[in-house]
Structure 1
């Protein structure tokens, strides 16, 4: 059976509130911990190191008995702040780090010196095997129901394949909007779940009312993949604006992405511009809205406090 997420993080329910770019914040994670689940915030949600440090300190003070919080690190070259963010997380302390987009080798090595657990985003078995060898404490298996950058495989297929070939707990990410979905992932062999999109329409989320309302008004059938945000396909709500600009990369973007010399720079530029566009959509009410979300917004019927959303997933 292996250890369950409740044991690994010493929490009541085997759920992590997933780190969401620009959405996740301290207020949401405090509520999540109070309700007996873990919470995670992307380190990149903080512009500066002092701001990140402030968030860690605040969460440490607010952490209840049996609470757990972590941060998400982009561990590839597009994140120029990665090394200093990692050093700060180790110095200040948190319960876990989730790594994305790159090799987690250094993060695992450094975090383990401080007793911090490391979970790694994976979308296939080959990568799951790699991070298992590097000593990851668990994998976050990102399936084809996830919001944002998602995998290709169904939850069942991905969980079962990793379980059969790696001796490491599998935390399933994607496609969870109700308690029945949580139970389903356990049936497939998951040790826990990571849930993001249902929390966008929470009162504590720091995004615009329009973004939250879109998660209420739109559903599963309105989620489309776009290459416009970061060059890598990403799931967004199919608003009139998204329909207008289209979801495919332009011919120029395609040519530049194929050019070996320029590719790295184009990727960094796309990443930067994509983050800017997402930031404007999330934090400013404009008609130019590209809102990232996954199909599990199907179960979002109103904007609620985080605690009510946790209860929907646990009771």
Structure 2
């Protein structure tokens, strides 16, 4: 993309300025590979690669599968190489796999590391040890400053309207406050489901958009068909913001909450102390099918291949730019 020379090499040359966000359970190698081949950075949470006791680490097998397939693609398509990929690490005290997963990612020279729920120097050091860059997701300016102080290379501003764990602040306010002091890589998460919203993110001061929910309703996504169908049939008014399900506030599909026998308009508060990402974690049976989603899903009309999502957003992005250019001249 023009105008991206100020960014680290791993974030340059994308088809559109976008990173596909790591989706819990949903992001698997097939989706990541499709996203990267389509020209945007694909990603997945390391914890999605969960092997049975006694088996070899599935994360290692996933990284091998992704890198080998992208290498094959690049050799066959030297003029349109795939975008790089990213791995998301949950930096929470309950993630007992973290040290092991950091070692595996460093061994496989993962190019982009996305960290969540805690900024730690040693995690950023692990990314840098193999030539990778670390992007940390935050919900406010205070956390943003802490992340950079601890060695993160860039920030993902998770604003109101983002799927899953999301902050309450307007993207206009959050991006503006961060840009007062930080001129490094800055991504924006929160209802970015169209080319219009992607261009708006850049106009606000972000370098790239962080796109999640539209990729749930794709053929490669590891999501229940009912989940995909509910994304397609829902809009912003069908999202509920609640801390009940993990202890940290996030956005979820009202329909899935209702299907679990709960009233989405009268949910109790959650307890952050119950948050767990350990191997033995369990959530109440009624919560097994509580589905996360951002507010931008009104733009999702069908279940399609991931490449079609990228193509649609690209068309809209360039059309939005052309309209804006006409208005400014």
TM-score by length of 1: 0.87
Tell me whether 1:37 sits opposite 2:40 in the alignment: yes
**Offset at residue 68 of structure 1 (A):** 0.4
**Offset at residue 238 of structure 1 (A):** 0.6
Deviates more, 1:128-137 or 1:90-99: 128-137
Larger relative helix fraction: 1
Tell me whether 1:309 sits opposite 2:325 in the alignment: no
Q: 2:276 aligns with which of 260, 265, 268?
A: 268
**Offset at residue 267 of structure 1 (A):** 3.6
Matched residues in 1 for 2:50 and 2:249: separation? 25
What secondary structure, in the 3-state scheme, does the structure 2 residue paired with 1:171 have?
strand
**Offset at residue 243 of structure 1 (A):** 6.3
Tell me whether 1:58 sits opposite 2:65 in the alignment: yes
8 Å CA contact 1:3, 1:169 repeated in 2: no
Deviation readout 1:272-298 (Å, 9 max, x if unpaired): 3349766x42xxxxxxxx111111111
The equivalent of 1:10 in structure 2 is 12
**Offset at residue 78 of structure 1 (A):** 1.6
Deviation readout 1:98-128 (Å, 9 max, x if unpaired): 0000123111112101101100001111111
The equivalent of 2:325 in structure 1 is none
Q: Tell me: CA distance 1:273–1:225, structure 2 relative to 1, closer, same or farther (3 Å).
A: farther
What secondary structure, in the 3-state scheme, does the structure 2 residue paired with 1:231 have?
coil
- Unaligned segments of structure 1, at least 5 residues: 258-262, 282-289
**Offset at residue 87 of structure 1 (A):** 0.8
8 Å CA contact 1:235, 1:293 repeated in 2: yes
**Offset at residue 167 of structure 1 (A):** 2.9
Tell me whether 1:207 sits opposite 2:242 in the alignment: no
The equivalent of 1:165 in structure 2 is 181
What secondary structure, in the 3-state scheme, does the structure 2 residue paired with 1:301 have?
coil
Matched residues in 1 for 2:155 and 2:284: separation? 25
Deviation readout 1:170-227 (Å, 9 max, x if unpaired): 1111111111111000001111111000110001111111110000111110000123
8 Å CA contact 2:4, 2:13 repeated in 1: no
The equivalent of 1:300 in structure 2 is 300
What secondary structure, in the 3-state scheme, does the structure 2 residue paired with 1:166 have?
coil
Deviates more, 1:39-48 or 1:225-234: 225-234
Matched residues in 1 for 2:277 and 2:304: separation? 36
**Offset at residue 71 of structure 1 (A):** 0.5
TM-score by length of 2: 0.83
Q: Tell me: CA distance 1:179–1:276, structure 2 relative to 1, closer, same or farther (3 Å).
A: farther
Q: 1:241 aligns with which of 233, 236, 259?
A: 259
**Offset at residue 59 of structure 1 (A):** 1.0
Matched residues in 2 for 1:248 and 1:82: separation? 32
Matched residues in 1 for 2:92 and 2:120: separation? 9
What secondary structure, in the 3-state scheme, does the structure 2 residue paired with 1:272 have?
coil
The equivalent of 2:77 in structure 1 is none
Q: Tell me: CA distance 1:204–1:66, structure 2 relative to 1, closer, same or farther (3 Å).
A: closer
The count of residues paired between Structure 1 and Structure 2 equals 295
Matched residues in 2 for 1:275 and 1:168: separation? 41
Please give the root-mean-square deviation of Cα atoms over the aligned residues, in Å: 2.4
**Offset at residue 10 of structure 1 (A):** 3.4
Matched residues in 2 for 1:175 and 1:308: separation? 18
8 Å CA contact 1:11, 1:37 repeated in 2: no
The equivalent of 2:198 in structure 1 is 182
